[in-house]
């Protein structure tokens, strides 16, 4: 299976982030996307949040009501094995290049996506690789739905 973009999301602050057809990615983040708490979100090393559909499916299988955009990801990708993303991994789209900088620690604002509010289900510290990732922008541009995704470790 070829890895591809299956969801793009932005918000005026908070979650859920709502779906869009394309995402304009700048060094400072995604145009039209805002974070409410800049102590923990945003900035050049946390410009884009990436998540995998395989993780959402795995969480759904055990009863969590998580869906695309509800945990604040900007780019939802499919076709990459869980555990393939890590700090230093390059994530390349046809017109944009990102590099993973760190995990995106979860907080209580996403608790509605989880059984009994257990948002730590996507904590990298508690469940390695079952997480969202922050990325720095290496090459600015547009990401579109169905764009191919290349992973370079």
Q: Each residue of 52-94: pLDDT tens digit?
A: 999 999 999 999 999 999 999 999 999 999 999 999 999 999 9
Residue 115 to residue 65: CA distance in whole angstroms: 7
Q: 């998580």: which residue's tokens?
A: 66
Residue 13 has pLDDT above 70, yes or no: yes
Report the pLDDT averaged over residues 26-48. 81
pLDDT grade for 141, boundaries at 50, 70 and 90: very high
Supply the pTM of this predicted model.
Answer: 0.95
- Structural domain count of the chain: 1
Nearest to 117 by CA among 107, 127, 125: 107
- Where is average pLDDT lowest: 28-42, 57-71, 99-113, 129-143? 28-42
- What is the share, in percent, of the chain residues with pLDDT greater than 70? 94
Report the pLDDT averaged over residues 6-23. 95
Q: What are phi and psi of 150, to 5 degrees?
A: -110, 135
Q: Alpha-carbon Rg of the chain, whole angstroms?
A: 14
Range of the domain at 23: 4-152
Contact at 8 Å (CB) between 8 and 69? no
Is the preceding peptide bond at 132 cis, omega within 30 degrees of 0?
A: no
CATH number of the domain residue 134 falls in: 2.40.33.20
pLDDT grade for 96, boundaries at 50, 70 and 90: very high
């Amino acid at each position: 299976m070829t890895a591809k973009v299956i969801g793009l999301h932005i918000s005026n602050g908070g979650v859920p982030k709502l779906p869009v057809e394309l995402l304009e990615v700048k060094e400072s983040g995604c145009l039209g996307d805002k974070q409410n708490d800049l102590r923990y979100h945003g900035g050049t090393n946390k410009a884009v949040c990436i998540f995998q559909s395989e993780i959402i499916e795995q969480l759904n299988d055990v009863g969590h009501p998580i869906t695309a955009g509800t945990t604040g990801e900007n780019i939802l990708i499919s076709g990459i094995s869980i555990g393939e993303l890590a700090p230093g991994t390059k994530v390349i789209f046809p017109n944009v290049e990102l590099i993973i900088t760190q995990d995106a620690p979860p907080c209580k604002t996403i608790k509605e996506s989880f059984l009994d509010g257990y948002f730590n289900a996507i904590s990298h510290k508690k469940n390695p690789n079952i997480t969202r990732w922050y990325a720095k922008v290496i090459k600015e541009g547009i990401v579109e739905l169905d764009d191919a995704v290349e992973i370079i470790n």
